[in-house]
Every structure is written in structure tokens, then in C-alpha cells.
Amino acid sequence: MKASALQDRAHGSLPNLAIALLLAMLTAILLVATDQDIGLTWDEPAYIAASESYVGWLGLLVRSPETALRAQPIQRAWAANHEHPPVDKIWSGLVWSVARLAMDDQTAHRLGNILLSSAQVGLVYWAASRRAEGDGTTQADRTISGLAAAAALITMPRFFFHAHLAALDVPAAAAIFATVCLFWGTRERTGLRADCLLGLMWGIALGIKINAVVVPIVVGLWMLLFQRQRYLFRRLIVMGLVGTPISLVAWPWLYHETLPRLDEYARWVTVDHWKIGQWYLGRFYMPPPWHFTLVMAFAVVPLTLTLLYLLGIARTAANEHLRPLGGLLILGALTPMVLLMAAQEVYDNERLFMPTFPFLAALAGLGFGWVVQGLRQATTRIGKARWLPALVLLAAGAFLAPHLVSAGVLYPHLLSYYSESIGGLPGATRLRLETTYWCETYAAALPYLNASAKPGQSVWIQPWSHDVMHYYQLHGKLQPELLISWPQGGSSAFANEGAWGYPVSLSEADYVVLQFRQSGFDEETVDWVRGHTPSYMLIRQGVPLLGIYAKRGQPATSRRNGGL
């Protein structure tokens, strides 16, 4: 490595680290400040209950290890949400156990993942601002690329929404991105220590969610394409040998009945997972066709950021010094999507290809850096170099403003965001894509129900959504005397806390709360909605997201609801 390059790298390391930490801190402040706006989602209650249970067991482990490690205490504490590995839930529970002393319970439960989301923003900056020498850029250029990458990630409306949640998708994405970045940062080290460190990081990622299996695929493909060195192939093997046991040791559920439980888990993530259908282009699919993933990625990533990451891909193709980094980012973005396309088991819209987003953001940062280079050359050529800072700011505004304005109109219901490339939410409605999902709109029903419903009245909600309402009741956000509908054979994540349900049908309920998730509409629901007028509607950009129907409401003679 040339001395000048060494000096440039040393000069940039500490400022880069400081900027990355500052971005992470500012992101955490923003996410905490906006958390109460973001409605609880379908999966969160299960993870919240599990995290509390796991932390309770850890307390028992500290007090009485012999008791804690017996089969019955492990069964009691770790059966909750044992479908998924526990590492993120352990982390979230530990953070919650401290944060709940100063925060609302919802924010305290989300804080652990908010910190991971914030670290991911800082890491995306780091990845886009740390590049190989000889690519024709200065440290200032690299800093601009990093800042653009971080801004691209946190301003993706759907990522911003998911970054708040006590769910597994963004933590899995953060761990995958961190593991790939660790590989990139240690690719020149030949020692066994780097192998084991990568294995440790991958074990943590695998202990969060099975999605981390994409890492060895991404890394292995990159080795074949860019750096076929024996020690790197050894690293891939050691990563698996170290990471796999770590992910298993971190999961006490497997300490007893190990083989049957491993078999159960393997079957669940392959063939036994319950099916969740998808409303897509005007039809209900289970599962959706292979092209769903590509279409949705185009539909939910803002158009200007799509243009930037395509510029980033073109830039890496044109610059041989950037090609190895760009190739790794492209592989990191494509591999999760290709696996989902091949499996065709996609559900819940974009959340399962959340690991793609940070790689796309880093590529967008490289694309914006190319725009800045073009502006510098143009202003220098015409003798107006002093215009460059203003033009860079104008370019940044032009790339960020469209989706920020659109997100502002929809806020906080950002699971209804669609890109300008398809005409936003109204365009998605015309294409007959799903309007919303995951129950986040239920938070908007709370003021109406608290003001209008009387104690003892029944509230029908869509099947398997009852835990969201139970959580709101248990934490004083919804009056506790309301009887929330309960699906036949259903159970509650909060049964130990006194949550209850009530077997009530659509026609019997005093109130019906309906999110306009078309894949959740069976024929009975569609027929019922067409014959009733809502007492309250949550509407954004002319599209209904949620309706509340009171028993006293008069039947409608003619009515059309978006997507029905």
C-alpha cells in the first residue's frame, strides 16, 4: 500500500468513526422521539412477551443456575416464540429491563432494536465512506458518499417505520450487514483470529434470524468473483464451524430434547411454516409469484433513491478500484431477494427483504458521490467552483424531498408508502397492491373507541390481531372493559397478564375495526363491509386505511371501498 494512501486512510479513520457515531446517536434520538406515533404491529406482542420471559429466566440463572438449567424452567420460560432464535429478544429484554424505569413500556421494549437500527445507519455511512485507495476521490468525496448513504437508508419510509419495531426484521438486516462489512474490513488479514471473529459475528446474526444464511452465500460468491485466495475460503469454513455452535449455545430452548427441537425448527423454517397470503395486482396469492419481490422492491423504494443506487451500480462497473466493494454491495442486495424469489414463500410485503435495504442505501451513496464528482468537474470547467457547495445541497434536496414530502403526508402510516415510480399510494391502489398491513393502523382507532364505546361492549377485529389490542388494554391506552374478539382456538401472548378475549362474530359485535389489508378479507368480511357505513375512516391521499363500524350505523345502499 502506498504511503500516501496509508496517510489518507489514517487521516480519515477517526473523523469517519466520529461521524458514524454521531449519525447513530442522532438516528436513535429521532426514532425514540417518533416511537409513540408508530402503531404496534402484529408480530410485536409475541416478541415482547418472549423477551420478558427470557429475561426472567436469565435472572433465575444468576440466582440459581442449577434450577434454571432444568428442563421444566426452560420449558416454561423459552417456549414463548420458540419458532425463532432468541438473540435479539434477549437483547431487547435486557434493554427493556432498564429502559422501562424511564420510558413508556412500548418504547422501552423497542429501544434495543432502535439502537441496532441506529447503529446500522452509522455502519452504512462507514461502508460508503471507506473505500480502496486509487478510486480518484478525496476523503471529502467519501464523506459525502457516506452521508448520502446514511440519509438514503433512514429516509426510506418503510425502513424508517420498521426501524422502530420490537420485531426481528431490521435487527436481522443490521446483523447481516455488519457481518458482511466485517468480512470486507478483514479481507486482507490472513490469520485465524479474523476467521474466528467473523464466525462469532455470523453466529450472532444466525442467532437473531435464519435470514443470516445469506451471508456465506454473499461472501462465497464475492470470493469466487474478486479474490480467490485460499485463506479466504478457509475463513468461510471457519465461519460456519464457529458461528453455528454459537447460535445454538445462545438458545437455551435447545438444551433439552435437542434433536427433536432442532428437527422441529428445521421443518418450521422450510416446510411447516404457516402460510400467509398476499394481495398482489388484484389477486390473492398463497404464495405470490416469483416476480413479487422485484416488483415490491421497485414499488416501495423511493424513485430518486432507485436512480441513485442504479448510478452507484454503474459507477462501480466503470471504476475498477470500486468494483470489489460495489460487487459486494450488489451481491448483498440481490441475494436475499433471489432466495425469496426462488422459494416463493414471500409474505407481509417488504419486511422479509429488509436485509436488501442497507446495501441499496450504500450503493445510493456511491451514486450520489458520482453526481457530486460531475458537479465539481462542471463548475471547475466553467470557473464557478464556489457554486459547488450550494449545488451539492440542491442535489441532495432534489433526491430526498419527493419521498420525504410523500412520507409526511402519510405519516405515521408508512406501511402504506409507495414510490413515486408507481404514483404513490393512489397509484398502488390503481395497480391493486395491498393498502396496508400488520395492524399498525389500530393505534388510530384508540381515541374513537375510548370516547365512544361503553364498558362491556364488544369489538371485532380481524383474526389473529387481538394481541395488539390486548397490549393497548394492558398498558392503559384502550379502556380495559371492552371485549376484544378472539379467534376460534386462539391464544394470547399476554395470557399470564390477564389478557382475555371474547368469541364474537362480525354481525354480533358492537364495533368492528377493520384495517384495509386486502389479503385479510374473506368473502364474509367483504360482503359485510359493502352493506355497512363506517362511523370513522382513516384516509390518506384519498385511500382508506382503516374503518370503524358501530352497530348503530345505518346500512349503506351503495358503497365502494378502495381495494374491495
Q: What pLDDT, on a 0 to 100 scale, did the predictor assign at position 287? A: 83
Calculate mean pLDDT across residues 527-553. Answer: 91
Q: What pLDDT, on a 0 to 100 scale, did the predictor assign at position 140? A: 86
The one-letter amino acid at 555? P
215 burial level (CB within 10 Å; 0-12, 13-18, 19+): buried
Answer whether 214's CB lies under 8 Å from 352's CB: no
Answer whether 42's CB lies under 8 Å from 165's CB: no
Question: Phi/psi of residue 458, each to 5°?
Answer: -100, 145
Least confident of 19-33, 35-49, 370-384, 495-509: 495-509
Percentage of the residues of the chain whose pLDDT score is greater than 70: 93
Answer whether 450's CB lies under 8 Å from 481's CB: no
The one-letter amino acid at 298? F
Residue 4 has pLDDT above 80, yes or no: no
Answer whether 468's CB lies under 8 Å from 441's CB: no
Instruction: Dump the DSSP string for 461-489.
Output: E-TT-HHHHHHHHHTTSS-TTSEEB--TT
Query: Nearest to residue 117, comparing CAs of 218, 43, 34, 10?
Result: 34
Retrieve residue 64's grid coordinates.
440459581
CA gap 495, 113 in Å, rounded: 25
pLDDT tens string 402-422:
999 999 999 999 999 999 999
Query: Nearest to residue 283, comparing CAs of 518, 42, 40, 43?
Result: 518
Residue 559 has pLDDT above 80, yes or no: no
Question: Phi/psi of residue 545, each to 5°?
Answer: -105, -30
DSSP 3-state assignment of 163? Answer: coil
Q: How far apart are the first and last CA of the chain?
A: 63
121 burial level (CB within 10 Å; 0-12, 13-18, 19+): buried
Q: What pLDDT, on a 0 to 100 scale, did the predictor assign at position 7? A: 44
For the chain, how big is the Rg over CA atoms in Å? 25
Percentage of the residues of the chain whose pLDDT score is greater than 90: 80
Among the ranges 82-96, 340-354, 459-473, which has the highest mean pLDDT value? 82-96
DSSP 3-state assignment of 514? Answer: strand
Q: What pLDDT, on a 0 to 100 scale, did the predictor assign at position 335? A: 97
Answer whether 172's CB lies under 8 Å from 212's CB: yes
Inter-axis angle of helices 356-381 and 139-155, nearest 10:
130
- Band of residue 13 on the pLDDT scale cut at 50, 70, 90: low
Calculate mean pLDDT across residues 62-82. Answer: 97
Question: Phi/psi of residue 105, each to 5°?
Answer: -60, -40
Mean pLDDT value across the chain: 91
Calculate mean pLDDT across residues 123-132. Answer: 86
Calculate mean pLDDT across residues 241-260. Answer: 97
CA gap 475, 496 in Å, rounded: 14
Q: What pLDDT, on a 0 to 100 scale, did the predictor assign at position 256? A: 97
> Residues for the chain: how many in total?
564
- Separation in Å, CA 461 to CA 47, 273, 347, 352, 521: 21, 24, 21, 25, 12
CA gap 213, 196 in Å, rounded: 17
Answer whether 36's CB lies under 8 Å from 440's CB: no
pLDDT tens string 138-186:
888 899 999 999 999 999 999 999 999 999 999 999 999 999 999 999 9
Residue 529 has pLDDT above 70, yes or no: yes
CA gap 179, 239 in Å, rounded: 11
Q: What pLDDT, on a 0 to 100 scale, did the predictor assign at position 273? A: 77
Taking each continuous run of H as one helix and of E as one strand, the counts in the chain are 22, 7
What are residue 540's DSSP bridge partners?
543
Q: What pLDDT, on a 0 to 100 scale, did the predictor assign at position 552? A: 62
DSSP 3-state assignment of 279? Answer: strand
- pTM beyond 0.85, yes or no: yes
Question: Which pairing describes strands 543-550 and 511-515: parallel, antiparallel, or unpaired?
Answer: antiparallel
CA gap 78, 387 in Å, rounded: 61
Calculate mean pLDDT across residues 210-215. Answer: 96
Angle in degrees, CA 498, 456, 477, rounded to 5:
60
In the chain, where the domains are located? 3-361, 440-550
Q: What pLDDT, on a 0 to 100 scale, did the predictor assign at position 62? A: 97
Distance from chain centroid for Cα 227 = 31
pLDDT tens string 286-316:
888 989 999 999 999 999 999 999 999 999 9
Residue 34 has pLDDT above 90, yes or no: yes
